[in-house]
Amino acid sequence: MMVSDKIIPGKSLGGIQLNSHIDNVYKMFAPECKIEKKNNSLILNDGLIVVGYGVGDELIYSVMCGVNYPYRFDGKLWAGMTVADVLNHSQRQIAYGGCVVVDGINGVGLPLPAGLDDFEQITDFLELDHVFENLSVFRI
């Protein structure tokens, strides 16, 4: 599966554009790529990339990559980083839309565990060795 190395906050991940129709994902990756459609998501190659889309319009609102995704965003964010990595590669961390967003860069973040969507400091409820399994690009 050939994906782009570009991660563009609020716009795209792996060449998959936010606000485009899910048919574009099939055009880009099928039949070379295994694509599973489940719970308003397209799961590519067993979670390498997960595409979230709206009910009815089927427009993409988020694109998320897993730990096997080979690219990083600006040397600051990647799937599989720990809380310690986040602290070492960024100056500021906030919770926004269920994600850790760093250095005021909206539209890209690390999804937080369910129920933990707000913090004063990222270490308030997560240990330094906690691993963020995914990186998400989302609408701003």
pLDDT of residue 52: 97
* Domain span at 26: 7-65
Which parts of the chain register pLDDT below 50? none
Q: For the chain, how many residues are written?
A: 140
Structure tokens that stand for 120 in this block: 């004063």
The whole-angstrom distance between residue 106's C-alpha and the CA centroid of its chain comes to 12
Same domain assignment for residues 57 and 12: yes
Q: How far apart are CA 101 and CA 112, in angstroms?
A: 10
Q: What is the pTM of this model?
A: 0.91
Domain count, the chain: 2
In terms of domains, do 120 and 91 share one? Answer: yes
Residue 1's pLDDT is 56
